[in-house]
Every structure is written in C-alpha cells, then in structure tokens.
C-alpha cells in the first residue's frame, strides 16, 4: 500500500467510531495542551528573565566580589585558615580601592567600576516635592532599555537616566517631556563634629548635584535605579564615606564585543587573585538552571497525562483489532502482508497522536495571546513587555511530533497483534 492510502484508511477507520476516537484524542489533547502551556510558560519566563538579567548585567563585564571562605568548591568544605579572615570592620567581606588597583593589572581589562555605596536623600524637579531614590553608576557599554531619550556617555557627568515611574512622580506629562530637564539630587555627608569638647557642634555637610535627564528607563521589575556617571559616583562616595570607601563588588569591563574566551580569561585571572568573579553568562546560567527545574517539574505533569493517554490509545486500538478481525482476514486474503496490516493500525494510532497534538498545540496557541493580554492588564500590569506565554513554533511542532510518537508506541502492540492474525481464523470469526 502507498502512504496516502495508509493515511486515508486510517482517517476512514477513525471516523467509524467517532465517539471513541474523539475520547481517545481528547485524552491525548489534555496531555499535549498541558505540555504546550508549560512549554509556553517556561519559554516566556526564560525569555523575560533573560531580558531582565541583561538589564542589570552588562555584556563585556565581569563582576568581582570578595573571596568567600564558604566557597562551595567541589573539593569539599575548606579548612579554617586564621590568616584568611573575611571579617573586616564593616562586618562583611568588602572590597577597597586597594583591590581596584590589584584588579586593574589583569590583561584586557579596560575599566574598573566599584559599586560605590552612595545614599542619596532625595530627588527634586524644580520646586516640586522631594522623593527618595537609589543611585548607581552608569558604566560604559551598559545595555539599558530606554523608553525615551538616549543613553548618555559614561563621561557625561551632568547626565542622568531615571526609572520610568519617576516620570509621573516628578510631575512630567510623559517620558519625552522629561528629557533635557534638570533635576536636583541631594546628598548628605558624614557628620562633622566641631566646637569644644564640652559643647560639641555636630553638622552634617550636604551637597546638591544638578543633572540633566537624558533618558528614561523602560519599566522593569528589577531596575528601579537612577543612573549617574561613574566619576560623579566616586566623588559622592568620597564625600559620604571618605577614603575608607568599601564596595561589595567591582565591575571589570573589557573591550566591547569581546569573545567569551576573553571574558573567561579575565574571570580566571580575578579568581587566581583570590576573588570571586562571574560573567553575565554565569548569572544567566544560574537563573536558568533554577527555571529549568521548575519547567521539568511542570513537564512531568504533562508527561503523566500523556502516559495515561497512551494507555487509552492502546485500549482503543485493541478494541478496533477485535472488531475488525474479519476485515483483517479479508485484507490478508487479498494479499496484504503483515507489515501492511501493522501499518494500517500504526497509522491509525499515529493519526490519533497527530490530531491530539494538533488540537493541544492549536488551542494553546489560540488562547495564549488572550491570557497574555488579560494578564498584562491585571496581574502583570507593572511588567511592561512581559509575555508570560511564548509559543516557539519548533517546540510546538515537536509537541505534535511527540503526540505522533506516543501514538506509534501505543499502536505498536495492537498493530503487531493484528498483523499476526491468521487469515482463515480471522475470516471465520463471526
């Protein structure tokens, strides 16, 4: 028999017992639909977190943190070393400018950007209300998603980039209206004690900086920082902390579009100097590992549904073989060979798998955008650009393929049974 004949016969035979076929397809549909949805959810979340992580990690940047005594090395728990105490005045391991100088010497490093700990008091536009904020350094090669304006050069000391929620809060009509406007950010310094011992006078020096809004950040869950030029941050850090400034991390940049090998070499050099270091890829990997565990668990549920559906297919086909014993006998009498009979039933099972898969994926892809739409107006209103369900076509095709594979596996046993029937016995069967 030719392939189109097999396919046609399979569809014809499936239509003989419409309800039974429908129920069998339905069982498989539940599995493939679940799988389509978990895949869509997994893909959506992975894509979203990737964008989020890219928003706060930068390419061509290696984040260096202080050495940890509790480093989880594969060689087990390290022995205590009294000379390697990590307890510093700050309580936690911190980095200092001395560390910056050490890291500077690593080949290929083009810049060192400590995470200056600067506490601003407020931000103010004109004579409007004052609002609290958090500031961070705008490193070169930062990949920030802006909704308005453009990313200023990291040497532009009079520039700032503000998070989207500040636009309305500070009283601008919209993001575009905020661009080019000057805002004031107020900082307090270390308290200074003067006067006499008996009558000490404590004064807190303060400092205002005037910065021009050059860009407005897209609204993301993770990034609510106001960006300032690194040199401004350094000045402010000195102002607030004096020369004893400590950082919990230092960002090392390499030339733009550096190879992974370069990044890894710098990372290795930093580790060799006794620090902990990670590339953006490391951060992404850690998060995605966690996500893939969740995804696997969800897929497991779909797998259980598919397994149940598979048993349903076996059952349906065993019944079909019984009912059609005479027909099988006739086909054999007319010269259909064993593999022909086998094919007849297997194609029927594969067809059930195909329809079940197509229905599951089809319905998933049909209601996915609706769910995305509803969620983006309700639960995930803050997360602009988050598509919770993403249906990549190759994956969806693979799910349909999986349905067909399940059909094939389920159909093999009944089909083999049918193919072994003796034509005479089959014809005599009344």
Among 98, 132, 201, 334, binds other proteins (CB under 8 A): 334
Interaction between residue 384 and other proteins (CB under 8 A): no
Say if strands 109-114 and 250-254 run parallel, antiparallel, or are unpaired: antiparallel
Which residues touch 108 (CB under 8 Å, ≥6 apart)?
254, 255, 258, 262, 265, 266
Which CB sits closer to other proteins, 334 or 393? 334
Determine the interface stretch with other proteins among 148-156, 251-259, 309-317, 335-343 (rule: CB under 8 A): 335-343
Work out how close the CB of 348 gets to other proteins at its nearest, in angstroms, rounded to a whole number: 12
Which CB sits closer to other proteins, 333 or 379? 333
Work out how close the CB of 1 gets to other proteins at its nearest, in angstroms, rounded to a whole number: 6
Which CB sits closer to other proteins, 10 or 389? 10
- Within residues 8-27, the interface with other proteins by CB under 8 A covers 12-13, 15-16
Among 265, 340, 362, 363, binds other proteins (CB under 8 A): 340
Interaction between residue 2 and other proteins (CB under 8 A): yes
Interaction between residue 221 and other proteins (CB under 8 A): no
Which CB sits closer to other proteins, 220 or 419? 419
Work out how close the CB of 338 gets to other proteins at its nearest, in angstroms, rounded to a whole number: 7
Work out how close the CB of 9 gets to other proteins at its nearest, in angstroms, rounded to a whole number: 8
CA–CA distances in Å: residue 291 to residues 54, 58, 72, 286, 304: 16, 21, 21, 9, 20
Q: How far apart are CA 413 and CA 411, in angstroms?
A: 6
Which CB sits closer to other proteins, 67 or 423? 423
Among 28, 336, 346, 352, binds other proteins (CB under 8 A): 336
Where b means 16+ CB within 10 Å and e means fewer, 250-282 reads bbbbbeeebeeebbebbbebbeeeebbbbbbeb
Determine the interface stretch with other proteins among 144-152, 198-206, 314-322, 420-428 (rule: CB under 8 A): 420-428
Interaction between residue 352 and other proteins (CB under 8 A): no
CA–CA distances in Å: residue 362 to residues 38, 294, 313: 14, 24, 21
Q: How far apart are CA 227 and CA 216, in angstroms?
A: 10
Interaction between residue 338 and other proteins (CB under 8 A): yes
Among 84, 104, 337, 381, binds other proteins (CB under 8 A): 337
Which CB sits closer to other proteins, 5 or 208? 5
Q: The tokens 């099972």 sit on which residue?
A: 349
Nearest 10 degrees: Cα torsion 406, 409, 411, 414: -150
Which CB sits closer to other proteins, 107 or 335? 335
Which CB sits closer to other proteins, 84 or 337? 337
Reduced to 3 states, what is the DSSP secondary structure of residue 165?
A: helix
x/- contact string, 310-329, with other proteins (CB under 8 A)?
----------------xx-x
Work out how close the CB of 326 gets to other proteins at its nearest, in angstroms, rounded to a whole number: 6
In contact, 357 and 402? CB cutoff 8 Å: yes
In contact, 319 and 419? CB cutoff 8 Å: no
# of chain residues touching other proteins (CB under 8 A): 24
Q: 173: which DSSP letter? A: S
Which CB sits closer to other proteins, 19 or 201? 19
Pair of tokens at residue 5: 């004949």
Element (H, E) at 208: strand 206-217
Say if strands 146-149 and 130-131 run parallel, antiparallel, or are unpaired: unpaired
Q: How far apart are CA 51 and CA 361, in angstroms?
A: 26
In the complex, the residues that contact other proteins under the rule CB under 8 A are 1-2, 4-5, 12-13, 15-16, 326-327, 329-338, 340, 423-424, 427
């Amino acid at each position: 028999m030719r392939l189109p004949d097999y396919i046609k016969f399979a569809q014809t035979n499936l239509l003989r017992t419409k309800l039974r076929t429908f129920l069998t397809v339905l069982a498989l549909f539940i599995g493939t639909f679940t799988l389509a949805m978990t895949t869509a959810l997994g893909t959506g979340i992975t894509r979203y977190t990737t964008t989020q992580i890219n928003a706060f990690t930068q390419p061509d940047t290696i984040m260096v943190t202080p050495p940890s005594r509790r480093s989880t090395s594969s060689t087990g728990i390290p022995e205590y070393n009294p000379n390697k105490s990590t307890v510093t005045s700050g309580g936690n391991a911190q980095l200092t400018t001395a560390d910056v100088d050490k890291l500077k010497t690593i080949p290929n490093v083009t810049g060192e950007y400590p995470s200056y700990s600067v506490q601003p008091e407020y931000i103010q536009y004109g004579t409007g209300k004052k609002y609290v904020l958090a500031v961070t350094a705008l490193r070169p090669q930062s990949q920030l998603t802006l909704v308005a304006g453009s990313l200023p050069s990291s040497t532009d000391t009079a520039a700032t980039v503000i998070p989207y929620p500040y636009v309305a809060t500070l009283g601008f009509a919209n993001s575009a209206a905020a661009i080019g406007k000057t805002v004031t950010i107020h900082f307090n310094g270390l308290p200074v004690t003067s006067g006499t011992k008996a009558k000490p006078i404590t004064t807190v020096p303060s400092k205002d900086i005037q910065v021009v809004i050059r860009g407005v950040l897209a609204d993301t869950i993770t990034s609510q920082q106001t960006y300032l030029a690194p040199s401004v941050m350094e000045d402010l850090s000195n102002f607030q902390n004096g020369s004893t400034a400590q950082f919990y991390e230092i960002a090392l940049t390499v030339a733009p579009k550096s190879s992974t090998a370069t990044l890894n070499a710098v990372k290795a050099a930093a580790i060799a100097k006794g620090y902990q270091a990670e590339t953006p890829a490391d951060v992404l990997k850690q998060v995605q590992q966690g996500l893939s565990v969740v995804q696997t668990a969800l897929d497991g549920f779909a797998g259980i549904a598919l397994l149940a559906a598979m048993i349903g297919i076996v059952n349906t086909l065993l019944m079909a073989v019984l009912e059609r014993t005479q027909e099988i006998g006739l086909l054999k009498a007319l010269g259909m060979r064993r593999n022909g009979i086998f094919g007849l039933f297997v194609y029927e099972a594969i067809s059930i798998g195909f329809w079940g898969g197509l229905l599951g994926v089809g319905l998933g892809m049909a209601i996915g955008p609706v769910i995305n739409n509803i969620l983006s107006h309700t639960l995930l209103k803050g997360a602009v650009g988050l598509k919770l369900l993403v249906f990549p076509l190759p994956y969806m095709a693979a799910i349909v393929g999986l349905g067909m594979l399940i059909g094939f596996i389920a159909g093999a046993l009944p089909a083999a049974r049918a193919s072994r029937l003796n034509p005479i016995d089959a014809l005599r069967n009344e």
